[in-house]
Chain A
Amino acid sequence: MVRTLSPLITLLIIGGICWVSLGGQESPADLTYANPQGIHTLDPARMSWTSDFRVALNLWEGLTTWNPEDLTPTPGVANLPPAVSQDGLTYTFTLRPDARWSNGDPVTSADFVRGWRRGMEPGTGMDYTFFLTDHIVGAASYASWRREAVSRLVPMSRLAREWEIDTNQRRLLEDTFGTEERDWPRTHQDALQRHASLIDERFNRVGIAAPNAHTLVVRLVAPCPYLLDLLAMPIFLPIHESIERLRSRTNDLPITEQGLVTYDPQWTKPDYHAHGYGGLVTNGAYRLAGWHFKRRLRLTANPYFHSAASVQCQTVDMVVHENVSASIMAYERGAIDFLPSMSVPYDHEIAKLAQTGARPDFVLTNVLATYFLNFNCVSETVGGVPNPFLDRRVRKAFALAIDKAQIVQRVLGRGDRTAGSFVPPGVIPGYEPPPGLGHDANAARALLAEAGYPNGEGLPMIDLLYTPNDSRIVQALAHMWGVTLGATFNLRGKESRTLADDKINRRFMIARGNWYADYNDPTTFLNCLLTGNGNNDSGYANDAYDTILAAANAPRDTAKRAALLRRAETIIVEDDLPILPILFYREPIALSPRVHGLFPNARMWFPFRYVTVTP
């Protein structure tokens, strides 16, 4: 019997091993770096993660790009400076004539229009759609017109197939068509046709125009002092026309039956060839040579890139190591040259090695990001208990009661900086944030007593929401608040998505939060606290604050603008305290001494075209 068993097992094993060997090993790249998560998407309209941006911005080049040393906007495909109208609302960009796609085609202004348009499309554009809709004339109304159409076409497409629809959808259709029975397949087809015929005309009202192949005119809703910085972001990248081959169609209409503009999601693959598609075409210093899901992604130099002659590092591999410790071991063995992330449970040891100079190849980098706590500023009660944080004196007392230096140095020890303000100081040129509140236990107790809670009497059990990663910080804070203010806590550690749900539904009194800057301007932080902003977790609403921020949009005088922004931030971090800034992240990276021309910077932006690697 054993005899019958063993050949079977052996056979299975051999089969399995054959499957494995299919992978095979490529020759090592000039530069290899590790990324713990892999790439979420290479679609510039959808991406949201720094690690995805890093690859996309090496593959594509926008109108502008960032200088890797000081992060100032530098020319990309467009010559700088652009021609700007008197009122600061119209920008005319001239594209460099030698800009080429990786298949040799010239990069035209129409490619930019195509890329930006995708970013506005419902169902395609995601986290950064607001960059387009907030700034470009007509973009918001185009996007909402499209979304409204989709919300009607979806239930119609259902009814056309005799599928069920829910009550909201039924109500929506009744508003348009009344309650009588209809021939739904016909109605749907007509509506689809009508909508498809209007799309281009509606889009022409958006303030993006390509009068000729090398000119792009952008009209803004309001002056935007940081526009050139924004334009380097992935949502503003151009897209090559070959993507149109992969566009979804219904009955010869260029939209889906739901009215969506979608493309075969495989379009970002270098080796995808359905419908005559030639694989991903990009216009940056590199092109995508291979992408094995969650294993390895290879970039090779784009021979058609306008500065191809200056690109030294010909191949770059991004390898995925879910286990950061393993990637550190591989780095130590020399298999990896560069670790842009070293977040491990022993990060304080790494910080120590970097700070003492024992490991000059470990570099601590100040990043444009803040860790803070949200106070719930809107809910009368939380879980049936009155919410004391509606009173800003309580929020201020809690802010004054903690010693952030203790947390940063003693509890965490990874070299972060204590935060008094929301915006990290010393990173954004021309802006110095207010100092914020210090540590003053007596003032904290006095304020709390004034608010009606002397020595913490009458304070309910405070509901504090955090993720498991924060547990050391949160326990230290709860201890400090307990000792100084007499507060007691219900510490609720939750997995991050459940936590996000609780935050949206305001099931917390205090909740952890962090914010990574999207662009190099204080408003990337300060806008989060505008009334009704989607990222305003504390539910803070202050007309005065909103007015000052709106006013700060207008002046073209940068000093005056900085003063206004500083006034707004002072309200946040010294008077109202809807959030309590704790620390500014400092993140360690490891960079092999063989690698030159990679500059640690606040946005973790690493263009490989400047890199040289010595053997």
Chain B
Amino acid sequence: MTRMLVRRLLAGLLTIACIYAITFTMVVSIPGNPFQQGQHRLSSDVESALLARYHMDNNWLYFWEFLRGAVRLDFGPTFTYADWTCNQIIAASLPISMSIGLAAMLIALMVGVPIGVTSAVRRHSWLDISATTLILTGISLPTFVTGSALLIAVGVKLQLAPVGGWGTLSHLPLPAITLSLPFMAYIVRLTRAGMIDALSADFVRTAIAKGASRQRVIWRHALPVALLPVLSFLGPATAQAVTGSFVVEKVFGIPGMGQHFVNAALNRDPGLLLGAVLVFSTLLVAFNIVVDLLYAALDPRISEAL
């Protein structure tokens, strides 16, 4: 188990290093000038003074300097928002994205798993059919459609929630529900498929034969095994949800990470972009490792193999 953890951690570090190198190469090679703000072209000597100020006149040096800072969790200045450091921006926006992402995952799990189990147990019933319809709708409808619809219905017509923005708990439900829908759809589908497999497995038949109750067989014996695919989906999905969805943040006007990530790319803001990529990839790697550990905990066969 420990060996596996160490191996996974090392592999994770290597992955992050590769992502950094590739992103850096892309950042310095895309056309466009990070110091260009409004309509004026900067004269070349003003620009060279700025490049010198931010140690960006030499790419190789900037590569190491940024990395040295990043290791100490200091992503340096940002040019688009000169009054803020990348750290301040990430510290202000990551918690917002995390709250929405975690709330969305909780909603997706709490609603998705029971629906998935029920539709597997009562296959082809009206419940199964309506659940399948929900899945299809959830997967097919983009979040900017569901988000805008929720905003108009709940925010403007019913006036039950604020129309976008951020600040209080009342700002949380609408974006969280919007963000949860596509994840929920996947969870229902994975749970249903996993459950159908599990219900026909030998150990379930044994459990029934030993006289376990129907509820106990479903929830105690079959579900943990049925949830394995859900779990492996959950790792990357949670990482994706907590690092912010650009679309959901845009629709609801939420100052989260996803927005800064996309804007940093559009603004050619190397510090913020690299910082966001590093945070995102670290979370992604971390969640995958956590999922692997949970996997082992859920399925005795795997933990034995480790």
Q: Does B211 have its Cβ within 8 Å of any Cβ on chain A?
A: no
Q: Please tell me if the beta carbons of A329 and B155 are within 8 angstroms of each other in the complex.
A: yes
Is the Cβ of A321 less than 8 Å from the Cβ of B253? yes
Contact of A40 with B37 at beta-carbon distance under 8 Å, contacts A320-B253, A322-B259, A329-B151 already known:
yes
Which one, B37, B57, B165, B167, contacts A126 given CB within 8 A? B37
The answer to whether A1 and B46 have CB atoms under 8 Å apart is no
In the complex, identify which listed stretch (A17-25, A218-226, A479-487, A563-571) lies at the interface while the others stay far away: A17-25
Any A CB within 8 A of the CB of B25: no
In the complex formed, the residue of B with least CB distance to A280 is B83
User: Closest CB of chain B to A5's CB: distance in Å?
Assistant: 7
Chain B contacts for A498, CB-based, 8 A: 30-32
Q: A19-B99, A330-B165, A497-B266 are in contact. Are A13 and B255 (CB under 8 A)?
A: no
Rounded to whole angstroms, the CA-CA distance of A372 and B231 in the bound complex is: 55
| Cα distance A258–B60 in the bound complex, in angstroms | 19
- Which residues of B have CB within 8 Å of A17? 99, 102-103, 169, 172
0/1 string, A498-516, CB within 8 A of B gives 1: 1011101000000000111
What separation, in Å, do the CA atoms of A515 and B223 have in the docked complex?
63
The answer to the question of B163 belonging to the interface, with a C-beta cut-off of 8 Å to chain A, is yes
B contact residues around A497 at 8 Å (CB): 31-33, 36, 266-268
Q: Contact at B88–A323, with CB atoms within 8 Å?
A: no
Chain B residues lying within 8 Å of A126, measured Cβ to Cβ, are: 35, 37, 42, 46, 50
| Secondary structure class of chain B's binding surface, majority of residues | helix
A293 close to B88 (CB less than 8 A): yes
Least Cβ–Cβ distance between B84 and chain A, in angstroms: 6
Inter-chain contacts of B255 with A (CB < 8 A) = 38, 292-295, 320
| Smallest beta-carbon distance B62→chain A, Å | 11
**A293 touching B49 in the complex, CB below 8 Å, given contacts A1-B298, A326-B253:** no
Assess whether A127 is in contact with B42, with CB atoms less than 8 Å apart. yes
- Interface size classification for chain B: 35 or more
Does the CB pair B103–A16 fall under 8 Å?
yes
> Which residues of the other chain, A, contact B168 by a CB distance below 8 angstroms?
21, 23-25
Q: Collect the chain B residues with CB atoms within 8 Å of residue A504's CB.
A: 41
Q: Which of B58, B148, B219, B298 has the most C-beta atoms of chain A within 10 angstroms of its own C-beta?
A: B58
Which of chain B's residues have a CB closer than 8 A to the CB of A332? Answer: 156
Residue of B nearest to A324 (CB): B253
Does chain B have a CB within 8 A of A48? yes
Question: Could you tell me if B251 and A326 are in contact, using CB atoms closer than 8 angstroms?
Answer: yes
A-contact 0/1 string along B281-305, CB 8 Å cutoff: 0000000000000100110000000
Interchain CB contact under 8 A, A333 and B106: no
- Contact present for B163 and A266 (CB under 8 Å): no
Complex: chain A residue closest to B38, CB-CB: A48
Q: Which residue of B lies closest to A293 (CB)?
A: B92
Known: A2-B224, A4-B297. A41 touches B102 (CB 8 A): no
The reply on A147 being an interface residue by CB < 8 A is yes
Residues B170-225 near A (CB distance < 8 A)? 172, 219, 223-224
CB distance from B222 to the nearest CB of A (A): 12
List chain B residues, Cβ under 8 A from A43.
Answer: 82-83
B83 adjacent to A535 (CB under 8 Å)? no
State the Cβ distance, B89 to closest chain A Cβ, in Å: 6
Give the contacting residue for A321; candidates B38, B84, B155, B164; CB below 8 A. B164
Tell me the residues in window 234-275 of chain B with beta carbons closer than 8 Å to chain A beta carbons: 249-253, 255, 259-260, 266-268
Q: Which residues of A contact B152 (CB under 8 A)?
A: 329
Interface 0/1 of B42-71, CB less than 8 Å to A: 110110111011000110110000000000
**Are A295 and B80 interface neighbours, CB within 8 A?**
no
Does residue B12 face the partner (Cβ distance < 8 Å to A)? Answer: no
Q: Contact at B297–A151, with CB atoms within 8 Å?
A: no
For B156, the chain A residues whose CB sits under 8 A away are: 329, 332-333
The distance in angstroms between the C-alpha atoms of A19 and B102, with both chains bound, is 12
- Which of chain B's residues has its CB closest to A266's CB? B83
B120 in contact (CB, < 8 A): no
The verdict on B159 contacting chain A, using a C-beta distance below 8 Å, is: yes
Report if A122 contacts B (CB, 8 A).
yes
Q: Are A151 and B42 in contact (CB under 8 A)?
A: no
* Cβ-defined contact, B227 with A125, below 8 A: no
For the complex, give the distance between the alpha carbons of A495 and B266 in Å. Answer: 8
The contact of B52 among A25, A151, A266, A502, by CB within 8 Å, is: A151
Contact at B46–A122, with CB atoms within 8 Å? yes
Contacts of A325 in B (CB 8 A): 148
For A23-48 the 0/1 string (1 means CB < 8 A from B) is 11100000000000011111100101
B167 with A25: CB separation less than 8 A: yes
Given A260-B53, A329-B156, A497-B268, does the pair A20, B92 have CB atoms closer than 8 Å?
Answer: no
Chain B residues contacting A147 (CB-CB under 8 Å) are 45-46, 48-49
Residues of A within 8 A of B142 (CB): none
Contacting pair A534 B40 (CB below 8 A) = yes
* A166 partner, pick from B42, B58, B84, beta carbons under 8 A: B58
Contacts of A112-130 to chain B: CB distance below 8 A: 122-123, 125-130
A498 to B266, CA, bound (A): 10
Query: If A163-B61, A535-B40 touch, does A123 touch B163 (CB 8 Å cutoff)?
Result: no
Q: Does A327 contact B (CB under 8 A)?
A: yes
Q: How far is the CA of A36 from the CA of B83 in the complex (A)?
A: 18
**Assembled-state Cα–Cα distance A11/B292 (Å):** 19
Query: Which A residues touch B60, using CB under 8 A?
Result: 164
With contacts A16-B98, A326-B151 taken as known, whether A515 is within 8 angstroms of B39 at the C-beta atoms is yes
Nearest-CB distance from B9 to chain A (Å)?
20
Complex Cα spacing A2 to B113, Å:
11
- Cβ of B253 and Cβ of A9 under 8 Å apart? no
A13: chain B residues at CB < 8 Å are 102-103, 106
Residues in B neighbouring A405, C-beta threshold 8 A: none
B109 and A9 form a contact (CB under 8 A) = yes
Binary interface profile of A, 45-64, with partner B (CB < 8 Å = 1, else 0)? 01011000000000000000
**B81-109 interface mask toward A, CB cutoff 8 Å, 1 = contact, 0 = none?**
11111001100110110110111011001
Of A19, A22, A150, which contacts B49 at CB under 8 A? A150
**B166 CB within 8 Å of chain A:** yes
Is A353 an interface residue, CB under 8 A from the partner? no
Q: Is A333 a contact of B167 with CB atoms below 8 Å?
A: no
User: Nearest chain-A residue to B254 (Cβ)?
Assistant: A322
- Check A296–B88 contact: CB distance below 8 A: no
Max chain A C-beta neighbours (<10 A), residue from B50, B251, B259: B50
Q: Can you show 30 pairs from A to B with CB atoms below 8 A apart?
A: A1-B227, A1-B298, A2-B223, A9-B106, A17-B99, A19-B96, A19-B98, A38-B255, A39-B81, A39-B83, A123-B52, A126-B37, A126-B50, A144-B45, A151-B52, A154-B57, A258-B53, A265-B85, A266-B83, A292-B92, A293-B84, A293-B89, A293-B92, A293-B255, A321-B164, A322-B250, A322-B259, A329-B164, A500-B33, A535-B40
In the complex, besides A13-B106, A46-B82, A535-B41, 15 extra interface pairs with C-beta distance below 8 angstroms are: A10-B106, A24-B167, A42-B83, A48-B37, A129-B46, A147-B49, A154-B57, A293-B92, A293-B255, A295-B92, A295-B167, A321-B165, A501-B32, A534-B42, A535-B40
| Interface positions of A (Cβ within 8 A of B) | 1-2, 4-5, 9-10, 12-13, 16-17, 19-25, 38-43, 46, 48-49, 122-123, 125-130, 144, 147, 150-151, 154, 158, 163-166, 258, 260, 262, 265-266, 268-269, 292-296, 319-323, 325-327, 329-330, 332-333, 335, 495, 497-498, 500-502, 504, 514-516, 534-535
Nearest 7 A/B pairs, CB to CB:
A497-B32, A122-B49, A48-B38, A19-B95, A326-B164, A534-B41, A123-B53
